[in-house]
Amino acid sequence: MKLNYHHLYYFWKVARTGHLTRAADSLHISQSALSGQIRKLEASLGHDLFIREGRRLKLSEAGRMAFSYAEEIFRQGEELSALFASGAQPNREILRIGAVATLSRNFQEGFLQPLLNREDLELSLQSSHIDELLRRLSAHRLDLILSNQAVQGDEQNPWRSRLIAKQPVSIIGPVGLEVQGEFPEVLRGRSLIVPGPDNNIRQAFDQLCEYHRLRPRIAAEVDDMAMMRLLTRDTGHFAIMPPVVVRDELKSGALADYGALPGVFEEFYAISIRRQFETPALRELLAQPSDNFLARPQLDHSD
């Protein structure tokens, strides 16, 4: 049976909003008429495209496949309209990436660096809590999520967590301090800036301190890595963090790395949803070695 692209367009609009009523309002048709068009498309394809969850509609496995094709078809259609409207060929790939709000900005910039100067690509960067980002990913409003924790997918939510980098967590502090020995001696009597109690790094650090019977003096608990970076730079306290967070300060000599915590690492994940294909830009990002975006300067701080 020949595909009706009018029906496919209606499906595409509903899939993007995840809500029949909102899609009907944007299309200026009744909800019942829109629902009828979707049923006709499902009948022609021989598969249910949506799963109802209360008032929201969630894509089925067949729906996700249909959406990936519809997304490409109608994005090309938008480019065609733009071509005749502007007289120029847009031909730009759009890549939508979300990052958990607490993730290091330096890590994000380093990871995205290969794409930042491409004129044929438009990057959409979004920051939020992991739960909200996963909702956007499931609704196909994101292509990828960057996170420092993995998530577990299932049949309803076919998320895939891919480990893209792993870096030791270090003791970061002012340059030129005289320190005695390594961990845990280096921290005795020091005031520390540490991640919040729900952070994986903090939990591993607490376990390490308990093992070594160290009771650290906590000056501040900070969830946001950007704020942690500022406090470490401006207060003179030691901090527990991945070196990538203060990459520029380490390189310039404003801060020093006093050694990695034994057995404590931060892991960085790229979370995607299983699709029939990945865009070329996404493949390029995921194929790069972690050395490209986890450069760790080696500084002499023994003076």
Q: State pLDDT tens for residues 35-78.
A: 999 999 999 999 999 988 877 788 888 898 898 888 878 877 77
Please say whether the beta carbons of 243 and 170 come within 8 A. Answer: yes
Q: State pLDDT tens for residues 200-214.
A: 899 999 999 999 999
pLDDT of 254 reads 93
Q: State pLDDT tens for residues 231-255.
A: 999 998 999 999 988 989 999 999 9
- pLDDT tops 90 at residue 190: no
Instruction: Provide the CATH number for the domain formed by 5-86 in this structure.
Output: 1.10.10.10
Answer CATH for 166-266 from 3.40.190.290, 3.40.190.10, 3.40.50.300, 3.60.15.30: 3.40.190.290
pLDDT of 87 reads 52
pLDDT of 83 reads 56
Output the CA angle 211-217-218, nearest 5 degrees. 105
- pLDDT tops 80 at residue 275: no
Domain layout of the chain by residue ranges = 5-86, 166-266
Average pLDDT over residues 77-84: 66
More confident residue, 179 or 191: 191
> Residue 168, class by beta-carbon neighbours within 10 Å (0-12 exposed, 13-18 middle, 19+ buried)?
middle
Q: If you average pLDDT over every residue of the chain, what do you get?
A: 85
pLDDT of 102 reads 83
- pLDDT tops 80 at residue 34: yes
Please say whether the beta carbons of 217 and 193 come within 8 A. Answer: no
